[in-house]
Amino acid sequence: MRILIIEDDTVAAGYIQKGLSEAGHNVDHASDGESGLEMARVAEYDVLIVDRMLPLLDGLSVISTLRSEGVTTPVLVLSALGDVDHRVEGLQAGGDDYLTKPYAFAELQARVEALARRRDPDAVQTRLKVGDLEMDLLSRTVRRAGVNILLQPREFRLLEYLMKHAGQVVTRTMLLEKVWDYHFDPQTNVIDVHVSRLRAKIDKEFSTPLLHTVRGAGYRLQA
């Protein structure tokens, strides 16, 4: 899932960005209303997280402008203003949900994922399965044939993407964009290294390999 945070508090934004990235999402950040509005206009996001009090252009103006332009991306409004009138204003401006500061990160994550499900019931899957390989996206666990497999965050994101595209050839460009959030070729072997590590963890101790190299094309996860 791709998420945009529009928040001028860099510490708060960094905390959210780190938590959502560790949960497997691609997260961008804008530190003021004008740049956030432009990013939300030109890129496709699954959810926007918008602080209400922003420099250059306030959060409610960002949301109402997007809605007037036909942008329907779900929006979670963040604000220290939490009384009923303020929450109503946020929703009337076009927000889909409203979370008052301070908040628990677990609640923010749950609300973000609920907004994505509301938009597209298939957008947020919580369990993936390919053959005897299973992934639980909520508990961030992976098991094969009942055996727990410990993965690093990037390995988890890589496997998640491969499992969501099981049976398909996944190219290096696709992995760079969707797992590393690169829109250029860094000219490194970073993908080969991570695929090798992942293969060692999910295939080495099992009789049937799942992760296959498609020569000259990319990789395919298939039972």
Q: Which domain holds residue 180?
A: 127-221
Tens digits of residue pLDDT in 69-103? 888 899 999 999 888 999 999 999 999 999 999 88
pLDDT at 120: 61
Same domain for 115 and 143: no
Same domain for 171 and 131: yes
Residue where a domain terminates, one of 119, 143, 173: 119
Asked if 91 contacts 81 with a C-beta cutoff of 8 angstroms, the reply is: no
Number of domains into which the chain is organized: 2
| DSSP per-residue codes, 67-81 | HHTT----EEEEES-
Residue type, 129: K
Residue where a domain terminates, one of 72, 91, 119: 119
Which CATH number characterizes residue 103's domain?
A: 3.40.50.2300
Read off the tokens for 180. Answer: 């590393």
Same domain for 102 and 14: yes
Tens digits of residue pLDDT in 41-75? 988 899 999 999 999 999 999 999 999 988 889 99
pLDDT at 121: 53
Residue type, 116: A
Same domain for 100 and 132: no
Same domain for 114 and 87: yes
Residue where a domain terminates, one of 73, 97, 119: 119
pLDDT at 9: 94
Residues 6+ positions from 136 with CB-CB distance below 8 Å: 126, 127, 142
Which strands form 97-100's sheet, in the order they lie side by side? Answer: 26-30, 2-6, 47-51, 75-79, 97-100
Identify which of 27, 77, 26, 70 has the alpha carbon closest to the alpha carbon of residue 51.
77
Which CATH number characterizes residue 146's domain?
A: 1.10.10.10
Q: Is the pLDDT of residue 184 over 80?
A: no
Beta bridge partners of 2: 26
- Model confidence at 23, pLDDT cuts 50, 70, 90, reads confident
Tens digits of residue pLDDT in 96-135? 999 999 889 989 999 998 898 876 655 556 788 999 999 9
Same domain for 202 and 93: no
